Structure 1
């Protein structure tokens, strides 16, 4: 593509958030009309959206008689006249690939700490908390998709702009950037510390003598250049559906492989429920187990128009709900009270040279490595929304942002071994905002009062949801402060 130039149809007005008009809702029967606009939109914009919804191209509405809402096309009626923006991809990603991508975005390194959480809380309480968190996460995505459908916007940052102007846009962009940089760093920390041990076990090197291939810093750089960077350079997130499916397959293998180890002999007393003080530490772990909200709208943008993103979200959450519970249960039933916060370390105690254990560790390393590109896409999109809001897609910029992000994260992982405390603070503040607070307050601000008054049940429920976010934020920060003051490391708010 030629040099950067402002998109002709983008205006620097309070209606900046309308850069993606005529988006459809995720609920049956939702329509984009002038009355659905928020007070921030100008009268001219209302007419434009209404006309674009009425003048959709005939060849795109051949199924209108049977399913009108599903036939309303993204950018319909004005596609030929608009300059394509980086958020305006055609949406050719299949339903299955979208499920893989969102499931891979949900599945983070936190899966390795769930057995420890179950050991602290007990099976029954853990299952109850996991169910509550899964339901809350699904409701949070519903709020995002509802707001997106009403205003025709499929960018988290632009929802913030529509709700609160530039401060809302910047707050959403910064939260996404910090949260996902912390998540990517946590994945690469696993690569840095686990991959040398795996290679050492495969080669049966009992006493390393400084070999370069056993140096975690070198391995992180190699993995970033050879695997992560090429995947991060894809133009569309949907292309990563195949690697996401393989990543999820690796975690399924992990679950199948570790299940026979339950039959091992144990000396610890099993328990079904526990009300120990340490149970409170499991709440932040579970609260952020389903963090995927920065990836929801990018995946929604590329999803085929006749599919529904809420169904993608529900299926992805259900799959990860089952995998989370089984991973925690198998780890807990294998080690009970002796389970460590890092499950891979616990399994390596059985026999560090056991072939099955080594394959399991390789599978987990593969899964977290292939998750990094999925998490990088929303960060790049947030940076473009904040720094280049009026620019068209430009390959050099697309590549440069990915390269600089990976370089920065590699430097953090290599030279700041104790940065995890800072990541904990970031996770404890940005994650509740992205999961609870932002979706709720955006919903309250964006949904017109004519459709849902402030005292209506949906908006009251959204306000309570935002309150839960502030509660989780306070709780997580408190646990981190307790860890720092007592010298323990039980609290966790990472993905």
Structure 2
């Protein structure tokens, strides 16, 4: 029965592909824009043009999928690669991320499927589908855990900062200063209800808020560059600050290489991964077409690159080699009661909290596709899977000690696979172009780059752990 079902499933995809090939000559509409990427499914009705997410909301949703906890680790990456080294690597990763999305959209045009998992099925059968879905589940759990780890570490300090000195110091055991308890409350009251929404397009309003929170974060980091002295104070807990006499700590490095540089590319790959959300966002885009979705992608990745670079640069120029793996921790040490820093903490906390539900969508879809594809769609299954994912993510956030470990491991494994390796492999397998065509050469280079960078980074990270 399973073989018959898989055969029927692949048969429909082949039929849809043949139908698409016959319509290739008619893909250009009167305005010169590509026709909608996919034909409607059998028995379905195409949404009217006024339905679906607008271009702006789709960009906000994509940027919300891109931007999250990664913004807090990029200054650390710059400190360990240098300004020029970081700039080159960040530009390469952003460009390759946009190119791999282009490959995904091209394959959707050829195969008439609209999910990352189904591309794996079409390319490599059931094993490919399960592999892609499992990778998505692991990566999204790691991403959501890193976001909630920020909530656990920063929310108690934000709460204490808004209290008077006597109240915040009277008892460190107060429930409202317990990071784990606050994490549980926010997960139950904010993350879980938003993750239960049936369509990803409903999060357009929250995604736009998250975007403005990230912009505010970048602006405050730029402003506060001149509020913290350099050389940095050695201690901010005593009445008299002890200041280092080493002015060498205040010189920016253009290129730098150390054992911590192994975390740089994985952190960048983690920061730009949006591929699990691209196709769901496309499916709900108003007047969907390949060119329109590519414009959404280029706009979202371009704006994210700008915000990432500016916040990383000014965060690095504030702390230089003393920057923490989680940027806000440095401001908590040296400006513990600064009003702007307290507000930016609240802003970044809201931003990551509003990002977690968006990541729930592809993770839940992958779980349903792998484990419950034989069951009819129901609200009970929807709720149970969402609750299970939320529980796993909260547990990881509670027990993982350092955010750079999440960035390093998840970024060098699942993120590089989803960002570089899988899109290139699928294109090489599915495209009918000649192997020496520019697109196939680019796809081959993408695969080689992803495998080499991922393995090298993972080996160096494990080596660092062993030698700590």
TM-score range, shorter chain: 0.7 to 0.9
Residue 211 (structure 1) aligns with: 174
TM-score, normalised relative to structure 1: 0.82
Question: Does residue 287 in structure 1 map to residue 269 in structure 2?
Answer: yes
Does the 8 Å CA contact 1:17/1:153 hold for their aligned counterparts? no
- Give, in whole Å, the separation in 1 of the partners of 2:403 and 2:214: 27
Q: Which residue of 2 aligns with 1:79?
A: 44
Q: Higher helix fraction: Structure 1 or Structure 2? A: 2
Counterparts of 2:257 and 2:189, CA distance in 1: 45
Kindly indicate whether the alpha-carbon contact (under 8 Å) linking 1:247 and 1:367 is maintained by their aligned counterparts in 2. Answer: yes
| 1:76 Cα deviation after fit | 6.8
**Contact 1:15–1:162 (CA under 8 A) maintained in structure 2:** no
* 1:259–1:330 Cα contact (<8 Å) kept: yes
Q: How much does 1:355 deviate?
A: 1.2
For residue 103 of structure 1, what is the aligned residue in structure 2?
63
TM-score by length of 2: 0.86
The CA deviation at 1:454 is: 2.6
CA deviation digits over 1:220-273, x for unaligned, max 9?
A: 111111111111111110110111110111111112223222224312332241
Q: Provide, for residues 372-402 of structure 1, a one-character-per-residue CA deviation record: whole Å limited to 9, x for no partner.
A: 0111100011112212335554222222211
Which of these residues, 447, 452, 459, is aligned with residue 471 of structure 1? 452
Alignment partners' CA distance in 2, 1:342 and 1:45: 47
The separation in 1 between residues aligned to 2:261 and 2:398, in whole angstroms, is 33
Q: Distance in 1 between matches of 2:219 and 2:8?
A: 51
What's the counterpart of residue 154 of structure 1?
114
Q: Which ranges of structure 2 fall in alignment gaps of 5 or more residues? A: 232-248
Q: Is the 8 A contact 1:443 1:462 kept in 2?
A: yes
Instruction: Report the equivalent of 2:217.
Output: 254
Q: For residues 159 and 320 of structure 1, what CA distance do their matches in structure 2 show?
A: 27
* Match 1:301 to one of 273, 278, 283: 283
- Residue 196 of structure 2 corresponds to 233
Does 2:91 correspond to 1:131? yes
Distance in 1, matches of 2:311 and 2:286, equals 32
CA contact (8 A) 2:266 2:407 kept: no
RMSD of equivalent CA atoms: 2.8
Q: CA contact under 8 A between 1:163 and 1:445: conserved in structure 2?
A: yes
Q: Which runs of 5+ in 1 are unaligned?
A: 1-10, 22-40, 85-89, 488-495
Describe the superposition over 1:111-146 as per-residue Cα deviations: whole angstroms up to 9, x where unpaired. Answer: 111112222222222211111111111111111111
* Count, aligned residues: 439
Q: CA deviation at 1:426?
A: 4.2
Structure 1 segments, 4+ long, off by >6 Å, are: none
Note closer, same or farther for the CA distance 1:348–1:300 as it changes in structure 2 (3 Å cut): same
Shift of 1:12: 1.6
Q: Deviations over 1:120-179 (max 9, x none)?
A: 222222211111111111111111111111111110000000000000000000000000
Matches within 5 A, 1:45-444: 64-67=29-32, 69-70=34-35, 74-75=39-40, 78-80=43-45, 92-203=52-163, 204=165, 205-264=168-227, 265-267=229-231, 268-277=249-258, 278-306=260-288, 308-389=292-373, 391-414=375-398, 421=405, 424-444=408-428
Cα deviation, residue 192, structure 1: 1.1
Counterparts in 2 of 1:386 and 1:480: CA distance versus 1, 3 Å: same
- 1:315-374 Cα distance to aligned partner (Å, 9 max, x none): 000000000011011112222222222110111122211111111111111111111011
